[in-house]
């Protein structure tokens, strides 16, 4: 069964709301046969990254960059996964109260280095998530889950 690894740093109510929306989309009834594995960024392991068929990444923008937790995940898995995960699909979202540009650029740079393939533009949310943001994250979760079932 294909595995979707959801790696997140969810320190705020806004990030929790966004995570729940994305997971609902990934686990939607119309998408069968996907094992959704959810791990906080500080505990996600290399073996889980190697075992996954795709990735959903979630981070707040902290001081204009990805969270230290997501950076730690990337630092941990980068070299062990560099060749083995090349070409795998990913999706990501970033929450910030101000500028998220640096966080988006970091995710794009790191995933490009890994050779991962974006299935959608990185979603960004500023401030409290609105209904349209939650709907977009639901769709994003569904898109990455559907992608790994079809290859």
Q: What is the mean pLDDT of each run of 10 residues along the chain (151 residues)?
A: 97 97 90 91 98 98 94 98 98 95 98 98 96 98 93 66
Torsion angle, alpha carbons of 98, 5, 121, 138, to 10:
-80
Structure confidence at residue 151 (pLDDT): 66
CATH among 2.60.40.10, 3.40.50.360, 1.10.530.10, 3.40.1030.10 for 3-150: 3.40.50.360
- Please count the other Cβ atoms lying within 10 Å of the Cβ belonging to residue 130: 10
Query: What is the value of pTM for the model shown?
Result: 0.96
Structure confidence at residue 32 (pLDDT): 76
Structure confidence at residue 23 (pLDDT): 97
Structure confidence at residue 58 (pLDDT): 98
Domain boundaries in the chain? 3-150
Pairing between β-strand 65-66 and β-strand 89-96 as defined by DSSP bridges: unpaired
Inter-residue contact 1 to 142 (CB < 8 Å): no
Inter-residue contact 91 to 56 (CB < 8 Å): yes
């Amino acid at each position: 069964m294909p595995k979707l690894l959801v790696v997140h740093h969810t320190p705020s109510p806004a990030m929790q709301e966004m995570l729940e929306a994305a997971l609902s989309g990934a686990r939607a009834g119309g998408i069968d046969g996907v094992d959704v594995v959810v791990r906080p960024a500080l505990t996600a392991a290399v073996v889980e990254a190697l075992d996954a068929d795709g990735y959903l990444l979630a981070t707040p923008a902290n001081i204009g960059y990805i969270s230290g937790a997501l950076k730690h995940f990337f630092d941990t898995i980068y070299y062990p996964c560099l060749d083995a995960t090349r070409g795998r699909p990913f999706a990501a979202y970033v929450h910030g109260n101000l500028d998220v540009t640096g966080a988006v650029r970091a995710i794009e740079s790191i995933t490009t280095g890994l050779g991962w393939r974006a299935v959608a533009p990185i979603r960004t949310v500023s401030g409290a998530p609105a209904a349209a943001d939650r709907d977009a994250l639901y769709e994003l979760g569904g898109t990455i889950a559907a992608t790994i079932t079809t290859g």
